[in-house]
Amino acid sequence: MDPRLDIIDKRLKNVNRLVAISGGKGGTGKSLIASTLALTLSELGYKAGLLDLDFCGPSTHIILGIRGIYPKEEKGIIPPEIYGIKFLSIIYYAGDNPSPLRGIDISNATIELLAITQWGSLDFLIIDMPPGIGDATLDTIRLIKRAGFLIIATQSKVVVETVKKVLTILKELKVPIIGVAENMKTTRSPLVKEQIKTFNVPFLGEIDFDKHLEDSIGDASKLLKTNFAQDVKKIVLATPEFKLKKR
């Protein structure tokens, strides 16, 4: 018997809402949206956490410019707080080194972190997922049953086709879907809106392509001032799942 599986619900008991930022393809802005979303929720007065589950390509720490912090040990590990966000990533243990992990190792590392992390009370825990519907997604569905999925699409046909696959499997597994947000919008293409109609999931809004966004990578306060962050905030304010009574 794996004892870790029985303690995960307890570890997340005082987290009001869990949001997995997911999508079919890499490079669609999931990590940027997850990081900005956590910052925005914190700025709005919510207690927010950010969990980077992309073990093979963690990047939220780069986006937020996080270095030199480490979890505290107290009956498990306590994620350090930075910019008002409780932050947990595999980088605390792997450093800047590559993590060449197979599926079974990703599952085991996910279970371990979920079993030993004391998140405490949070309004929102944002989970940055790796692309696709592989181990991390299946484990999130299996282990974090309350997680709602926010799917990131772009107007690229290649991305839309994979997003449709993600939506299909989430629907089949009856996983809560918060909605689809369209990132890196450059034209008035209605492709994403039209293609997700058959899934009967909310279209949360558009995030315009922001050519200055790259300049704010590594600087959380600069990131919050970008047009990109303003578009993310509009989505937050318009989405019922992001409204909570503050603690």
Partner 1 sequence: MHEWALAEAVISTALKTAEKERLKEITKIKIKMGELQQIDIEIFEFALKEISQPQRPIVRNANIELETERAILKCRVCGQEWPFDDAMKGLSEEQSESIHFVPEIAHVYIRCPECESPDFEVMKGRGVWIESIEGE
User: Of these, 13, 74, 187, 246, which contacts partner 1 (CB under 8 A)?
Assistant: 74
Total of residues contacting partner 1 (CB under 8 A)? 33
Instruction: Extract the tokens encoding 9.
Output: 């619900």
Smallest gap from Cβ 177 to partner 1, in A, equals: 29
Closest CA to 188 of 162, 167, 209, 161: 209
**2 near partner 1, rule: CB under 8 A:** yes
Smallest gap from Cβ 51 to partner 1, in A, equals: 14
Smallest gap from Cβ 237 to partner 1, in A, equals: 37
Smallest gap from Cβ 2 to partner 1, in A, equals: 7
Q: With CB under 8 A as the contact rule, which of the stretches 2-10, 13-21, 132-140, 148-156 interacts with partner 1? A: 2-10
What stretches of the chain show up as alpha helix (H) in DSSP? 8-11, 30-43, 60-64, 91-94, 103-116, 135-143, 157-172, 191-196, 220-224, 227-238
Q: What are phi and psi of 60, to 5 degrees?
A: -65, -30
**240 near partner 1, rule: CB under 8 A:** no
**116 near partner 1, rule: CB under 8 A:** yes
**219 near partner 1, rule: CB under 8 A:** no
List residues bridging with 125 in a β-sheet. Answer: 18, 49
9 in Cβ contact with 117 (< 8 Å): no
Instruction: Write down the residue that tokens 């008002």 correspond to.
Output: 84
Q: Which of residues 79-108 bind partner 1 (CB under 8 A)?
A: 90, 92-95, 97-102, 105-106, 108
Cα–Cα distance for residue pair 114/144, rounded to 1 Å = 9
What residue ranges bind partner 1 (CB under 8 A)? 1-7, 10, 73-77, 90, 92-95, 97-102, 105-106, 108-109, 112-113, 115-116, 118
